[in-house]
Structure 1
Amino acid sequence: MTNIQELLAQKAALEKQIAEAQRAARADAIAKVKALMGEYGLTAADLVGKATIPQKPEGAKKVAAKYRNPASGETWTGRGLKPKWLAAALAEGKALEDFAI
């Protein structure tokens, strides 16, 4: 039966072998990538994908405003959260129809 010290020594040797194999595999991969970059005339900038700006679907249309703040002229389409100016006015007792366009 092997003792703990021998097992720990084996573990350390295996970890060292694993680290060396990983370094060799990484160096090989880098060499292959550099060779391909040279073959095709690529640069590091070519490898980084350009960020694309999401486009609106072709059928998407801008929604018309349904409510307007008479004091400031701010508008709201009726979609999403109510703007603060409208929420405050409703809390004061005004009706939503008072702000309809």
Structure 2
Amino acid sequence: MAAVSKFNFDGMSVEELTRLIEDAQAKCAEKSEAARRSLVEEMTAKAAALGLSLEALVGAGVPPRTNVRKPRSDLGQKVAAKYRGPDGGTWSGRGRKPGWLTQLEAQGRHQSEFAV
């Protein structure tokens, strides 16, 4: 939508441009609020025609969330070691693999050799 500008922006000072921007933003907010009010009034009237309130109509369309993850039951508890190295170091099998196990695997050993 190409509109012909009523303003000569090149001839305006910084103060004039700033005031123009502020006025345009205020007018935009005013029109947006008027459109929102008009939409709410229209939807309220349509809901009333169906014998509903707008609040009941909007609230009825939002299903409750059922796929929310439950918190871990062992959160914050120490996990038993599943692997023990030759130097006594242990690893639960969670998180990053410890350096001692990585080094031993690089030497050709297998993780299952160190299972507790």
TM-score of the pair, normalised by structure 2: 0.42
Structure with the bigger RCO (C-alpha within 8 Å, sep 6+) is 1
TM-score (norm 1): 0.48
